């Protein structure tokens, strides 16, 4: 006999209580697999409930795999695999994921663990950080964006909750195309693919070309995540040194003669990490070199909108009459990165391939985010926001450069003055001590900055620091530079000592 205790006062329905009690008996071994359970009628009688209540409980036990039901026979307990319990998660698993994963995936994990993404890093709370290349969240136009989000829902309704097109939301493709036209880039919406940030744009392009043995020419130094991504795709970076004018075209031409790269990856404006922008002449030179060799260029215009000083220089893509340039852009570096929207504009044949790759890997980008950003652009909010960012960062950059000139001695470091963006690249004089002393000295003086070596692939460069003013106000910048000066003072006076 099956002894089940039901609680008539409980809010749990009786059939549910029967189910749970029987399950308990099975899981604790009181009833063993193969054993017969009472008939519906017998159990209903014994418990004083309606037969249909017991029948429902047995039905559900059958559906969950705990009993076998056969017409005319009593239910029979069934051996059922135990459900995984929360405690199982901490016990060692059966699969050795390091063996299952490729060496590149394992290397990516090692790299990821060694340097968590900056937003996940818990910065020393009192430190002033020149490290994150992420817009100051105090400048996020949240209220405005929220009303755009709600307007998008009013306008498009349930369409926002459906799968979107793999190339992106058509109205936003039109909007982005129009913005590119304003930067001198002659494209239409068909030439534009919307991506989850420009990082995905870069990833898709690398995926399109990836094959063992292929190389990609990159500036040295370059955006560190690009180096990691190239490795992940089995592509080999070929480092072309940056001079004050941009990547060294002669070195690039020689490298191309020796071994034609599959692609040249470049950031002509406000280069990460150096903040450098190349001249019109340099851009023309790079373009004609790549045209002559028929090598495509991936132009990363991640901060294109952030030109707030100096002469306007148009993107490479604006001169791209032979369609060798794949242009990537993003809303991350002016508006906010969490919305994850970027774009690629390129030859239609190239775009079609990128669209196909995206479609089979992640179907389509988020409709909600795209529609909201589109509203934000169309009602003029984006232009107003950009104008504000220019006002703010023109002052912040000036404050940073003034403070550097005042407090950082030429015998410690040199730097050049960017025409926009957020980055200043300090080339340090040879350090009297080890490189690790630099990080320690910065930490001790309550200041953080990007350590330069991560932006190089194989070259062992002298010490550099990447200063990002993206998250700091003028007074924070001034205070941060003073701390930097104190750290340098300590580091460089050691030599004399």
What residues line the site for ligand PLP (CB under 6 A)?
A: 133, 197-199, 223, 267, 272, 300, 302, 330, 332, 337, 342
User: How far, in Å, are 4, 370, 373, 461 from residue 175 at the CA level?
Assistant: 67, 11, 10, 42
Closest separation between CB of residue 239 and ligand PLP, Å? 16
Residue 343 or 415 with smaller CB distance to ligand PLP: 343
Closest separation between CB of residue 268 and ligand PLP, Å? 11
Closest separation between CB of residue 196 and ligand PLP, Å? 7
Residue 300 or 374 with smaller CB distance to ligand PLP: 300
By beta-carbon distance, which residue lies closest to ligand PLP?
197
Phi, psi dihedral angles at 128 (to 5 degrees): -95, 125
Residue 171 or 329 with smaller CB distance to ligand PLP: 329
Residue 44 or 193 with smaller CB distance to ligand PLP: 193
Local structure of 473: helix, strand or coil:
coil
Closest separation between CB of residue 454 and ligand PLP, Å? 12
Residue 19 or 204 with smaller CB distance to ligand PLP: 204
Closest separation between CB of residue 408 and ligand PLP, Å? 24
d(CA 446, CA 391): 28
Nearest alpha-carbon partner for 178 in 382, 32, 349: 382
Residue 56 or 131 with smaller CB distance to ligand PLP: 131
Residues 6+ apart with CB under 8 A from 496: none
Residue 334 or 463 with smaller CB distance to ligand PLP: 334
For the chain, the C-alpha Rg in angstroms (whole number) is: 31
Evaluate whether 273 touches 467 at the Cβ level (below 8 Å): no
Can you say whether the dihedral through the CA atoms of 297, 300, 306, 308 is positive or negative?
negative
Closest separation between CB of residue 77 and ligand PLP, Å? 55
Length of the chain: 497
Closest separation between CB of residue 336 and ligand PLP, Å? 9
Closest separation between CB of residue 333 and ligand PLP, Å? 7
Task: Show the 3-state SS of 349-367.
Answer: HHHHHHHHHHHHHHCCCCH
Evaluate whether 257 touches 133 at the Cβ level (below 8 Å): no
Query: How many Cβ atoms sit within 10 Å of the Cβ of residue 201?
Result: 28
In the sheet that holds 423-428, the strands lie side by side as: 128-130, 447-451, 464-468, 423-428, 413-414
Residue 340 or 445 with smaller CB distance to ligand PLP: 340
d(CA 123, CA 448): 8
d(CA 151, CA 302): 28
């Amino acid at each position: 006999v099956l002894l089940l205790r039901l609680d008539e006062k409980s809010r749990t329905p009786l059939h549910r209580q029967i189910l749970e009690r029987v399950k308990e008996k099975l899981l604790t071994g009181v009833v063993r697999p193969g054993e017969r359970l009472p008939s519906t009628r017998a159990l209903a009688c014994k418990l004083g409930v309606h037969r249909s209540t017991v029948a429902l409980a047995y039905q559900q036990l059958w559906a969950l795999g705990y009993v076998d039901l056969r017409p005319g026979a009593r239910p029979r307990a069934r051996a059922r695999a135990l459900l995984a319990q929360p405690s199982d998660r901490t016990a060692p698993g059966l699969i050795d994921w390091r063996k299952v994963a490729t060496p590149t995936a394992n290397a990516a994990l090692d790299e990821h663990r060694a340097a968590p993404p900056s937003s996940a890093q818990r910065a020393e709370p009192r430190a002033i950080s020149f490290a994150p290349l992420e817009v100051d969240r105090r400048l996020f136009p949240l209220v405005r964006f929220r009303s755009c989000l709600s307007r998008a829902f009013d306008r498009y309704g349930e369409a926002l909750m459906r799968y979107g097109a793999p190339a992106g939301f058509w109205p936003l493709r039109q909007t982005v195309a129009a913005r590119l036209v304003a930067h001198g880039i002659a494209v239409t919406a068909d030439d534009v693919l919307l991506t989850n940030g420009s990082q995905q744009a870069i990833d898709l392009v690398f995926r399109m070309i990836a094959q063992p043995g292929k190389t990609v020419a990159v500036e040295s130094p370059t955006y560190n995540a690009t180096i990691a991504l190239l490795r992940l795709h089995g592509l080999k970076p070929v480092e072309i040194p940056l001079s004050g004018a941009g990547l060294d075209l002669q070195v690039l031409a020689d490298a191309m003669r020796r071994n034609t790269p599959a692609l040249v990856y470049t950031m002509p404006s406000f280069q990460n990490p150096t903040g450098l922008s190349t001249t019109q002449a340099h851009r023309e030179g790079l373009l004609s070199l790549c045209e002559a060799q028929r090598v495509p260029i991936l132009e990363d215009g991640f901060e294109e909108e952030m030109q707030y000083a100096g002469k306007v220089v148009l993107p490479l893509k604006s001169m791209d009459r032979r369609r060798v340039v794949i242009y990537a852009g993003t809303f991350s570096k002016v508006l906010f990165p969490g919305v994850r929207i970027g774009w690629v504009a390129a030859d239609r044949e190239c775009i079609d391939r990128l669209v196909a790759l995206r479609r089979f890997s992640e179907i389509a980008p988020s409709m909600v985010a795209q529609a909201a950003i589109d509203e934000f652009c169309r009602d003029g909010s984006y232009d107003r926001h950009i104008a504000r960012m220019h006002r703010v960062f023109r002052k912040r950059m000036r404050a940073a450069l003034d403070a550097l000139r005042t407090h950082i001695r030429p015998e410690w470091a040199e730097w050049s003055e960017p025409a926009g963006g957020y980055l200043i690249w300090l080339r340090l004089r040879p350090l009297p001590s080890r490189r690790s002393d630099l990080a320690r000295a910065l930490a001790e003086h309550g200041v953080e900055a990007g350590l330069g070596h991560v932006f190089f692939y194989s070259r062992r460069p002298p010490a550099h620091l990447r200063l990002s003013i993206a998250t700091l106000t003028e007074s924070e910048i001034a205070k941060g530079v003073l701390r930097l000066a104190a750290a340098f003072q300590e580091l460089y006076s050691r030599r004399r000592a």
